[in-house]
Homo-oligomer: A and B are copies of this chain.
């Protein structure tokens, strides 16, 4: 097993990106990290698309000592084996980890875009990602792969660039958000936007951050990433008893249960590093994704021109992106006689499962990529 070969890029794009909203945006920078080596035929590239709070830093340990968000999946000898595949991670436009986003200075004014940053869609991201592929000379990805919102990008790749994707790997995702999911996003956005430190999105100028809103947003997210059973097992009704406490309950609104402590910790941590405008923007892109919309809500029609093979994976206890939502994707693909493999992994960890190290899940991805190697030679 060789060591991980990593390269970091800041790619500048001067041509404005035409957005689904009708606006144009540019110039812009995309932060990109690659792993492994692109072969001579440029046929072994795999694009990994990230979800809400991740970035281009998919695997390995970076200069800040941070391990990549999908390091258990991508690397030498791992399911997506960088000894055989050239893996590209891109920080999506509008995110806050090096690509141009709401906190970047608007060249027209010299101050951060803030509320003036355009509202983006999954399709806008995919278009910008295609320019990254062009930069590397990758005409066709061996695979485009992602979980959750990343899975939506994989679907959009299959639709927008049917000839440029060999395999779409769609994990713990859906072809659109349910009303319940939109509702969770709306509440999170509401918490951020009603924080007085939000200043209509222009908080940078006030040298503050809407921390309370971000905390609440993240806490809501965390509940929906875990399964009910998982939370019961992890925390149950276990109390955090101060040393020497005489009674079981402290009768206060401070942290009393372990689960409260966990959520507050996660909320605080998130508020320290994530941009509030990026949170709004990415949840809105999630809400808006709905490829069937232009086809009178007929997903089968929307998928008619796909050429990629699909691997669709769901997790039994994922209630945010439930298996039935994955089966809708599978059905629409089968209606078109597209090739699709589907696995529903029995896993206790809810939506979070797509990021975790599950033996059956990883074995499945590994064998899928091993088969794919033959196609790249």
Is residue A190 contacting chain B, with contact meaning CB distance below 8 A?
yes
Question: Does A178 contact B228, Cβ atoms closer than 8 Å?
Answer: yes
At the interface with chain B, which of A27-35, A181-189, A367-375?
Answer: A181-189
Interchain residue pairs with CB less than 8 A apart (19): A21-B249, A21-B251, A178-B232, A179-B235, A180-B228, A182-B257, A183-B219, A183-B223, A183-B231, A183-B260, A186-B219, A186-B257, A187-B219, A187-B223, A190-B267, A196-B196, A228-B319, A249-B288, A256-B287
* Nearest 6 CB-CB pairings of A with B: A194-B212, A179-B231, A21-B251, A179-B235, A119-B251, A179-B259
Known: A179-B236, A237-B179, A248-B293. A253 touches B220 (CB 8 A): no
Partner of A216, one of B180, B191, B251, B280: B191
Is residue A199 contacting chain B, with contact meaning CB distance below 8 A?
no
Tell me how many chains of this kind the complex includes.
Answer: 2
Interface bits A201-216 vs B (CB < 8 Å: 1, else 0): 0000000000010011
Q: Which residues between 302 and 334 of chain A lie within 8 Å of chain B, taking CB atoms?
A: 319
Q: Closest Cβ of chain B: how far from A290's Cβ, in Å?
A: 6
Q: Closest Cβ of chain B: how far from A267's Cβ, in Å?
A: 8
A interface, over-half SS: helix
Is residue A278 contacting chain B, with contact meaning CB distance below 8 A?
no
**A237 — which chain B residues lie within 8 A by C-beta?**
176-177, 179, 182, 290
Q: Which residues between 216 and 239 of chain A lie within 8 Å of chain B, taking CB atoms?
A: 216, 219-220, 222-223, 226, 228, 231-232, 234-237
Q: Closest Cβ of chain B: how far from A289's Cβ, in Å?
A: 10
Question: Does B219 contact A253, Cβ atoms closer than 8 Å?
Answer: no
Q: What is the number of residues of chain A that contact chain B, defined by CB distance less than 8 Å? A: 57
Question: Does B263 contact A186, Cβ atoms closer than 8 Å?
Answer: yes
**A253 — which chain B residues lie within 8 A by C-beta?**
119, 189, 193, 280, 284
Interface bits A250-265 vs B (CB < 8 Å: 1, else 0): 0111001101100110
Q: How far is the CA of A137 from the CA of B252 in the complex (A)?
A: 35
Q: How far is the CA of A288 from the CA of B249 in the complex (A)?
A: 8
Q: Which residues between 1 and 42 of chain A lie within 8 Å of chain B, taking CB atoms?
A: 21-23
**Closest B residue by C-beta to A196:** B196
Q: Closest Cβ of chain B: how far from A52's Cβ, in Å?
A: 16
**Closest B residue by C-beta to A118:** B251
**A212 — which chain B residues lie within 8 A by C-beta?**
194-195
Q: Which residues between 116 and 164 of chain A lie within 8 Å of chain B, taking CB atoms?
A: 118-119
**Closest B residue by C-beta to A201:** B253
**A196 — which chain B residues lie within 8 A by C-beta?**
196
Question: Does B287 contact A180, Cβ atoms closer than 8 Å?
Answer: no
**Closest B residue by C-beta to A115:** B253
Q: How far is the CA of A293 from the CA of B248 in the complex (A)?
A: 9
Q: How far is the CA of A182 from the CA of B237 in the complex (A)?
A: 8
